[in-house]
Amino acid sequence: MKPGIRDLVPVALLLVALAIAFNFLDPSKGASDGGRPTISLGEPPPTATPTATPAPTEAPISDVPPPSTWVVMFVSISPAGSETIDGRYAFDSLDFEFPGPPFPDMRDDAWKIVAEGTVTIAEGGRQAFTFDHDGEARVFVDGREVGFQPDGGKAQALRSVFDRAPGQAIIRVEVRDTGGTLLLKTR
């Protein structure tokens, strides 16, 4: 039986593939001295010349005053993790300290305070917002989280630094009861 074109095409493709592969696998190609690396002894390796770089200047940070009015929500957290707003109130300042849940129908260690307020930022740039808390705390500015601090077992300050253009900004503070007293106080 005489080989036909169907038998010769695969053989021809195999030969072409081998020729291409040989060019990549040939150790004598691509190097001037047979493909072996050169190691010269007795010469120090080249080093980079150090250049003076200016020290970075820290941008000034402006402290954002707390909002004049806060909308405060008391939120209960179910064992499955869903949240329910149990109360919504307006306050001029944040000055809360609860040894247990604020309402009798809330479970201890399964609730949080969420406070939102609007501030006016006069000059853009780096801003800071500071408050005291006892519990797990988060800070959001215009919906973006800018600060987090786990419960430290005692009152501690959280100073969140963020960049912001001038104008109105919404600050949201969340402090979750994780055991013991829940504290939230603005400075």
- Tens-place pLDDT, residues 164-181: 999 999 999 999 998 889
Query: What are the backbone dihedrals phi and psi of residue 24, each rounded to the nearest 5 degrees, phi first?
Result: -85, -30
Q: Which domains are seen in the chain, by residue range?
A: 61-186 (2.60.120.380)
Residue type, 58: E
Residue type, 57: T
- Contact criterion met (CB below 8 Å) for 116 and 70: yes
Kindly report, residue by residue over 119-165, the tens digit of the pLDDT.
999 999 999 999 999 999 999 999 999 999 999 889 999 999 999 99
Kindly report, residue by residue over 74-133, the tens digit of the pLDDT.
999 999 999 999 999 999 999 999 999 998 888 899 999 999 999 999 999 999 999 999
Mean pLDDT of the chain: 87
Residue 177's closest CA among 41, 74, 92, 31? Answer: 74
Question: Quick check: 35 pLDDT over 80?
Answer: no
